[in-house]
Structures are given as C-alpha cells and as structure tokens.
Amino acid sequence: MKKDMEVLKKKRDDVKRRVDIEEFTRRRERLSQVQGWLTNVSTVENKFNELLTTNDAELQRLCLFGFCSKNVKMSYLYGKRVVLMLKEIESLSSQGDFDTVTLATPIARIEEMPIQPTIVGQETMLERVWTRLTEDGDEIVGLYGMGGVGKTTLLTRINNKFSEKCSGFGVVIWVVVSKSPDIHRIQGDIGKRLDLGGEEWDNVNENQRALDIYNVLGKQKFVLLLDDIWEKVNLEVLGVPYPSRQNGCKVVFTTRSRDVCGRMRVDDPMEVSCLEPNEAWELFQMKVGENTLKGHPDIPELARKVAGKCCGLPLALNVIGETMACKRMVQEWRNAIDVLSSYAAEFPDYRMEKERLIDYWICEGFIDENESRERALSQGYEIIGILVRACLLLEEAINKEQVKMHDVVREMALWIASDLGEHKERCIVQVGVGLREVPKVKNWSSVRRMSLMENEIEILSGSPECLELTTLFLQKNDSLLHISDEFFRCIPMLVVLDLSGNSSLRKLPNQISKLVSLRYLDLSWTYIKRLPVGLQELKKLRYLRLDYMKRLKSISGISNISSLRKLQLLQSKMSLDMSLVEELQLLEHLEVLNISIKSSLVVEKLLNAPRLVKCLQILVLRGVQEESSGVLTLPDMDNLNKVIIRKCGMCEIKIERKTLSLSSNRSPKTQFLHNLSTVHISSCDGLKDLTWLLFAPNLTSLEVLDSELVEGIINQEKAMTMSGIIPFQKLESLRLHNLAMLRSIYWQPLSFPCLKTIHITKCPELRKLPLDSEIAIRDEELVIKYQEEEWLERVEWDNEATRLRFLPFFKFFGPEWQVSYVR
C-alpha cells in the first residue's frame, strides 16, 4: 500500500504541475474531472496517513511471530481498512491518466482598471456619456479635449462602470491607440481580450487576424474603448464589426481633435473641458492635503491663487498640488504665486524641431553621446515620446518633426525647475515681451538658463559675471546690431548659444574664444559675412549651424574646430567648395553634414570622399550643371535623410553600379538609401524620370515641380531590371506641379498603405493614377487635391468601381492655393 501510495502521489504531483503551468501561462482553467480527481487523491492521502498513525499499535497486538493477534477483531477490522484503501489507491491511480487537464477560460466580460479613489469634476460628464451609450442609443461616442484635461481618466471610469452595471454586453475591450497607429499591435491587443493570442497568431498576416477578430466579435454585443486616437481608425481593417442599432455594439474613443471625431462619423462629439473654478479648488485641496492647508491661516487663500494659476487643467492641478503638499510656511506659498505670475502665460506658442531639442539636450549633458549619435538620437526621441504621451509636450498635427508646450505646463515646468520658486532666477524666460535690453537680475550668479527670444534687444554689452549660465537663447531679436567683447567674457561656462534669426547682426567679436565650454552655436539667418578667428579656438564646439546666412563668404579654418560633430550649411551664400571638402575631411569626429552645393565638380569630389558621404544627412543641390555625361551618380548613403535638387542640369540620376551589384544580397531593410524620407525636385529641365527612388524604401514625402521633361516618376523599362522592388510603401505625401510631359507615376496600381495627400496641378498629360478599387489603401484619410476641373474630367479609370471608390477624395483648390503651394 505504501508503494502504491507513493506512485499515486507522484502522479498527482505531475498532474498538478501541468494544471498550474497551463493556468498561469495560457489563461485556462482546470477541468472539473481533474479537480475532482485531485480532491479525491487528497482525501485518500488523509485516510492513508490515519492508517499509518495506528500502524505501530496494530503491530503490538500481533503475537506468535505475527501469525496471531491479541485482539483478533481489531486486527481484522484494521486489515479490512488496509485492503479497501489499497483498492481505492489502485482505482485512483488508474483514473489519473488525463489527455487534457484544462480548457480555455471564457472571455472576461470586463477587466476593471485601476483608478484614483476620488475623481473631481467628472460626475456630470460621466453620466452624460453613460446616457448616450445606454439610453440615447448612440453607437459611437467621441470625447475630445486638450492634452491633460482628463479624457483618459473619464474613459477609464466608463470602462469600470460597465462592471458595476448589468449592461448585457459580452465583452468590453480597452485599447490605447496613440499617434501613428500600429494596426498589428492594435489587433494584438484586441486578440488578447478575445483569447486569440499566442505565438502562432502573432505571426498571422493582418487580413487573417481581422477575419479572426470579426468571427468572434460578430457573434456578440461588445464595447470597444479606444484611447488617444489622432486620426480615423478604420474598424474594418481591424476586423471590428461596425456598431449599429441592429447589433447593439458600441465604440467610445478619446482624441484631442474635433476633426477626428468627424472622420469617425460622430456628428455631435462631447468636449471634455477644464475644471470649473470650484472643482479645480476641490481637486487642488485634495492634492495639497488638510494638514498643509491648516499650517497657517493665510495658506488657504494663497492656495486658491496658486490653484487659479493652473487654469482648471487637471494635469497642472495634480502636479503642483502634490508638489506643494509639504509646504507649510506661508512664505513658500507667496513665493510660488510670485514665480508662477512672473512666467507670463501670455507667451506665444513656440514650435521646436525635435532634433534641435535633442541636440540641446546632448550638449547640456542630459543625453550621453559618447557611444554613438544614433543611440543618443534614439534616447532623445524616446524621451520626447514619453513627454508627448504624458501631455507635457504637444506634437504638431501637420509637421510631426516639431513639438510645442502648453502655457500652463510651461509655467509649471519653470516653477519646478526653480525649486518651487526658491531660486526663481535660475531660469529666466522673457519671450516676445518687447525688451530693448537684457533684463535686470538681482543675482546673476544664480542664472543657469535664459531665453530672451523674439524681443527688440539692440546691444549686448558687458554684464556682471554669470558663471553658472549654460544656455542662452537670443534668436529672432531683429534689432540686434552689436555684441561687445566684454559680453562673452562674462559667460565662460556657456554651453548652448542660439543667435539664429537676428537679421541685423553682421559681426561677432573675436572674444567668442572666451566661451571655452561652448558646444552648440547657431548663427543661421544672420547677416554675418565671416566667422571670427576666435571661433577656431573653441575646442569643445560640437554643433555649428550656419543656414541661410545670405552674406557669409567663408568658413575657412573650420578644420581647427577639432571636436566638431555636426555642421549645417544650407542655403547660405557660402556653399561647399573644393577647399572646404578638403578641410572637412580633417574633422575626425564629424558625424552629421547638412550641406548645399552649387558645383558639379564639388559634388563629384564630395561623393568620392567616403567618410563625408557617410556623414551626409541633408543634401541640397542648386544650380549644378553636369559637365560630362549629364548623369548624377549616387553612392551608398545610409544616413541620407533629405534631398533637395533645384535648377540643376542633369538628365538622369542613378545609383552607383558597384552599389547596385550588391543589391541582390541586400534585404529591403539594408537598402542603400534606407533613411531617405524627403525628396524635393524643382526646375530640373533635363530629368525624364526618378526611377532611382526605388532604392528609397522609407520615402515619406515627394515633391516634383516645374520640370518640363519629366515623363514618368518610375520608368517601367528601367524598373524591370530591378525586380522585386515595390515603391512608395511609406509615402505619405505626393506633390506634382507644372510637369507638362508627365504621363505616369507608376504603370500599375500600387498599395500606398501610408498615403494621405496627393497634390496635382498643371500636369495636363497625367490621365491615370496608380489606384485600384482592390488595393488596401488607407482611403479614410486620403485627400487628392487638384486645381483644374477639366483635368479631373479627363482622368481615366480602370473600371467604374475604382472611380466610385476614389472620386469622393478629390478636393478642388482654387488658384490662390497655388501661391502657398509652389515654392
């Protein structure tokens, strides 16, 4: 019996281990018969242990070497129990061979989400939304409002309310969409809630995943909650049945844009507004806490003023309230009001290029660039993404390469940076307030960062020593005429200096050499003719921007700036010449080169300098006339991001032959123009096609203007020699203007999975677009802009289905639009 019991216990342990693993990793639950068997084994084990405890007593009853008992009846009964136990163990052991031990759990109707225990100011809004969903019968409800206003919190409460009410829905699904929605990821999130997930399903294509989702959701009432959408979400592509009165399904989404609500077919969206003053005060009191508010009789009134500075924005009320929770001295509260008031919420919004912002961070030491620039950029973009998702930065809807900051968030950030106002002169920000001179500062030694952009300052003269100042923004002071020698002597620790946009500035003093810590210098859009010799002594300077300097004649000696990593010289009077190519090759640490060229000989010399080619990120060719074959041959340029070609005489652009010979061994991800995203070509009257763009798999924007001989964007005969390459899979914007000979973009329909806009004007011979009713284009966003009604009438379609599908996306723009369109 002992041996059989050991076998049964081992079998029990094996079954239980299988059950635990499947329940934990695969969202399954144990079969009833398995649970019953495990319970029976446990019961038998207890009985077995009981028998063992009396075993010694029974042995003592035996006599005559075990052949007789002192109490025959008791020994008989004990033996009978052992025999019965042995049979029970054998029976259970035979029943314990299970093919399956678990089954898939039914879909949870709702997964309740964590939320703050007390929410202020949303009760009325919550009830209005709930009424829309349950009583008014709205199938799709759109919630819109500015970042940080509480849309996600409201959607979370709606999600949880479905768990409180008996709503009759089969499943409630929550998905965070965010900017640039990833269809595969969104389908994956939906699939997990429907128990479709798993390694095999993850590898299925999007069409099959959509079919699987549809087959599950089509059989039940569901609620789909989409948080943070920035553009129309195509439910059909996801596989989600469109909600209707017939199927009883619902979709609720949040967005910052009312326009997006319209695209989602919501005619009457609901705005989530900032809190009313009494609600804002209630929330602020909760965050600060009763003990702090009672710390001094004057604090409640001061706290009301601080709360007022937050303009009802929950994000600001939460952060500032929590920060002030430990401030129990009345002086700290008065100082907070003073600091928040001094940051002037009337500052105009200022848009900042993401990469410029990252360059600032690198130079300030916030991001380590020692390993590689690519890694530093990735880290910078990750930080920006985090700030955008937290509503601390706002991403531009049109130009995704720029961000801006909400007024209240900026005030809050400056206040926190000043140690809650204790060091309010640490960061001085006075933008666009009409300053004619540098503002008066009580304690210059505490100033670390200063922004005096968009003022009317005329002269920068000597000031008290400012030994802690690391960042100085002086751009767009159009009246700035003179910077004294003494000024630079006073700021020896300066790391970032931006003087761009000062159109009256014609000279820099040689004493700029005193800025021994300077890493970033921007002189773009100034009228400086020559760089001061002192600039060559800046051994720590890493970033130098010299764009649009219309009077710049020379940057000779730049090779002496030995630490230079990024040089930008675009659209200035001084462009790349032969001697500058030689100098640039001496810069051992150069990683990024954004440059304009006007000579074919210089182009040839540059493209034959492998190290400089590797650094090219933006290349502008203007007025380049090919002197030999008329062919521009491009080598492998992995880092090239943007190409602008204007008024050039080449008749063809090709990829270098030795590069092409390697292309058969390259995957699409390692193609030689892998990072090229923007191409602008204008007034190039020799070009007939742009077939070379086949080697730019990540092209997002293409403009071709005023080039009279262009017949086709991709030439079929040339493209056939490069089999297997499908162009324009990432293209978002296509602009074609004044192309008299253009007949074709591509000879057959393309999928255009990312295309949003096509602009076509003055292309009379272009009769057919590469569109087809069967292709999976994102037509919910597509806009096809045109200017001539007669051109639209002559457009040829493959069939009536294609015409009916795409004709609604054509939008007429009058002649006035051309002014802003043609550069």
pLDDT for 584 equals 95
Average of per-residue pLDDT values in the chain: 86
Letter for the amino acid at 384?
Answer: I
pLDDT in tens, 445-484: 889 999 999 999 999 987 678 889 999 999 999 999 999 9
Highest mean pLDDT range out of 52-61, 135-144, 235-244? Answer: 235-244
Give the mean model confidence (pLDDT) for residues 733-739. Answer: 95
pLDDT of 86 above 70: yes
pLDDT for 751 equals 86
Give the mean model confidence (pLDDT) for residues 762-788. Answer: 83
Cβ–Cβ under 8 Å, residues 101 and 22? yes
Beta strands of 215-295 (E only): which ranges?
222-229, 250-255, 270-271
pLDDT in tens, 230-276: 889 999 999 999 999 899 999 999 998 888 898 899 988 999 988 88
pLDDT for 448 equals 92
Q: Which of 84-88, 112-116, 561-565 has the lowest mean pLDDT?
A: 112-116
The Cα 307–Cα 340 span in angstroms is 11
Q: For residue 816, name the pLDDT band (cuts at 50, 70, 90).
A: very low
471's enclosing H/E stretch is strand 471-473
pLDDT for 704 equals 97
Cβ–Cβ under 8 Å, residues 312 and 408? no
| 327, two tokens | 């401030």
pLDDT of 815 above 60: no
Cβ–Cβ under 8 Å, residues 780 and 752? no
Sequence-ordered list of residues with C-beta below 8 angstroms from that of 803, at least 6 positions apart, any chain = 797
3-state helix, strand, coil in the chain (%, to 5): 40, 15, 45
pLDDT for 664 equals 46
Q: Is 793 left (phi over 0), alpha (psi -120 to 50) or beta?
A: alpha
pLDDT for 778 equals 57
Highest mean pLDDT range out of 361-370, 563-572, 751-760? Answer: 563-572
Letter for the amino acid at 177?
Answer: V
CA-based end-to-end distance of the chain? 94
Give the mean model confidence (pLDDT) for residues 394-412. Answer: 77
Under DSSP, the state recorded for 243 is P
Distances (CA, A) of 489 to 7, 27, 483, 492: 88, 68, 11, 6
pLDDT for 166 equals 59
Give the mean model confidence (pLDDT) for residues 699-723. Answer: 91
pLDDT in tens, 658-691: 544 444 444 443 457 999 999 999 999 999 999 9
Q: For residue 520, name the pLDDT band (cuts at 50, 70, 90).
A: very high
Give the mean model confidence (pLDDT) for residues 516-541. Answer: 94
Distances (CA, A) of 297 to 27, 300, 303: 57, 7, 11
pLDDT in tens, 122-132: 888 999 999 98
- 280 or 75: which leads in pLDDT: 280
pLDDT for 380 equals 93
The Cα 719–Cα 732 span in angstroms is 22
| 336, two tokens | 């907070």
pLDDT for 508 equals 93
pLDDT for 667 equals 46
Sequence-ordered list of residues with C-beta below 8 angstroms from that of 505, at least 6 positions apart, any chain = 480, 481, 483, 499, 526, 527, 528
pLDDT in tens, 596-625: 999 999 999 999 999 999 999 999 999 998
Letter for the amino acid at 240?
Answer: V
pLDDT of 365 above 70: yes
pLDDT of 26 above 60: no
What percent of the chain stands above pLDDT 90?
49
Highest mean pLDDT range out of 145-149, 440-444, 700-704? Answer: 700-704
What percent of the chain stands above pLDDT 70?
90
pLDDT for 66 equals 63
Number of H helices, E strands in the chain: 28, 32
- 714 or 349: which leads in pLDDT: 714
Q: For residue 27, name the pLDDT band (cuts at 50, 70, 90).
A: low
Q: For residue 60, name the pLDDT band (cuts at 50, 70, 90).
A: low
Beta strands of 191-239 (E only): which ranges?
222-229
pLDDT for 345 equals 42
